[in-house]
Structure 1
Amino acid sequence: MTTMSAPFSGRLRRDDCRVADLRELLAHQPDVTPPHADHVEQQVPVYTAATLRETLGTESGATGIEAELAEVLATGAGIFVITGALEHEVVDRVSADLEEIIATEKAAGGEVGDHFAAAGANDRIWNALEKLAVTHPGDFVDYYANDLLALAARAWLGPGYQVTSQVNVVNPGGVGQTVHRDYHLGFTSPQAGERFPRHVHDLSPVLTLQGAVAHCDMPVETGPTLYLPHSQKYSHGYLAYWLEEFQEYFTQHHVQLPLAKGDAVFFNPALFHAAGSNTTTGVRRMANLLQISSAFGRAMEAVDRERVVTAIYPTLLARIAAGDDVGHAVAASAEGYAFPTNLDRDQPVDGMSPPTQADIVREALAEGASPQELADRLDRHAAARRSS
């Protein structure tokens, strides 16, 4: 996260963006390996799934590793990789599901578009989280029950986070993106960005976490994402990345890490980054792009979370009966924040906050309530939150 040198002191301006300032900042970053990282590759800490899970199993392990990952994202490189985060068998099943969704949407026709890349260069699934849950609830639960995806989300955002996902397939010959920062301020024009106070530029990155799960092996020639480590610390970055001189600097100084199927990468949304070009002739590079939002922010996509949890609830019951922990899947699907609501009808249960949709689902699961009973509870919960 950017450090505010002069908080609440007016606006940032494009005229004050200087490549020399960014170059000076990046030249004075420490070269350290975080305690739990396996190694550092091109300034990026790389963790192994086995090491992280071993640490999580120790007393106070979760707290310590979450603090370390948050420090990497805020004051370190701004990015880390987890190798082997998801099992290949689960990834392969979900990849097949996603290809099915892509084929269905292509058959239906309609316009296509993409952020920071030419329309049609990629195959994109918007709101992939909801579409996967509705069409393949079992695979959804197996995928999002993953403990390491939840670890990364908690480390940066704390509890109550909101998961959305957009699947991106860069086809052979697909040209990469231009350098950018991400949601929230990263999706505004530089003219709009100048209208926000400078402290909002510092706060925007802590509202979301960007992630990606590799759904195939991604050697460099397939165009895995390009990054500029430590660039999240540049105060004017939301205005600067639009400028040609900064785009040229990124082109000359970025790093690019190959990934293997099942690897996951997470990064501060203020990090300068861009998808690479796929120079192969036969590899469709598929990644599940995770945009995870703070409970205190709002997600980019409108997800019908009641529809999602209703779709996956029978699978959740079956997984619990088999002895599995489905808590992370509930967190990824149900609304975990209590507000906004109608406090005349939706009364707080602990003096502060009324129950969330996720609370309703967890309570139903604990009681073994039927799908119809859950649906009735969700209807009552939604009715109580309406303003009229």
Structure 2
Amino acid sequence: MTSAIKLLGFLLALTLITGCAPRPGPEVLTPTFASVPGARIVTVYVATTRARGAPEGNDFTTGRAAALNFAAFRISVPPGHRPGVIEWPQGPADPATSFATVEQIALDRTTFERRVVAAGRATGGRKVGVYVHGYNRSFQEALFRLAQMTADADVSGVPILFAWPSEAKVTGYVADKEAVTYSRDGLADLLTLLARDRATGRIAVLAHSMGSWLTMEALRQLRLSGKGDVIDRLDVVLAAPDIDVDVFRSQVAVVGPLSPPLTVLVSRDDVALSVSSRIGGERLRVGTLDVNDPRVQEAAVRANVEIVDISSLTTSDPLRHDRYASLAALYPRLAATRGDGAGGDLRRAGAFVFNAVGTTLSSPFTLAGGALAGE
């Protein structure tokens, strides 16, 4: 079977699985000035390699910016919000029933840095949380996903979206691979910028799917350029990473062991990664590793990587690729159960099965839950 035929099969499979439901357009970024009792306002900062449609606007396109663009959005989460769900507006946004953009501001680099530092200090030095989205995601989908996870985690902190120019099309897989390659410098630049001020605390990074490959490449770049001090400030989680296993092994070898260990969230029944594996010549993806395989367990310990199977988590995603998004809602209860909400860290290298009761390990809730909101 040729690569072209494999690609066609991959795209057809995703189209059939995901259906033809309309996706939110950029109109959801238009501010609404209404407010309702009980709504929660989440401020999300943005650093992106997407180009602006207009010099002072925040209508980010699929074009590639020559340098990072910066912005801030205030998103209203409705009073009746269900954890793990984004209540998209049906027509004009209504803060009483849907997520709504309250305010958006275009920032320059200096103002972005100043505001993030000030926000970090205002929360008592809590972590900054950087979210790197995955394949086939529009800017507004990534932005509202981070707002959802931040609200669900219900902790203080500074959430930052790193948005790269995904085509947001099922047929854009190859273009998205090129876009994440283009964005490696941008992510390394953002992490370096954030690490300049130690008052912001540690920097948590949650990367999803293809964004995990981008993140590992940025870390590799930081290591090779002698910026180990930046890497030392990071707590990194890769959720459903769309990375060839051999490529991942070589990336880890260059990046070196992280402290706390790099955490990888996997699910063996991830449909999207299964199809991605086929298009890659039947090569196994990291996000589908079997934690019960002794070889995986041994390799995880040897590489100082924590691999956690989260297949037990429910998801409304037919591709079973977005399970990580529900971890944020579990964070408050599980962190309290483990007693690690105050910053304790029980992460360890190895391969584990997620225990929803919170008696196995803490990293999924600490990182994929609280870190998104900067906890």
Q: Same fold (TM over 0.5)?
A: no
Greater RCO structure (CA 8 Å; 6+ sep): 1
TM-score by length of 1: 0.26
Which has the larger share of strand? Answer: 2
Q: Give the structure with higher Rg (CA).
A: 1
TM-score by length of 2: 0.26
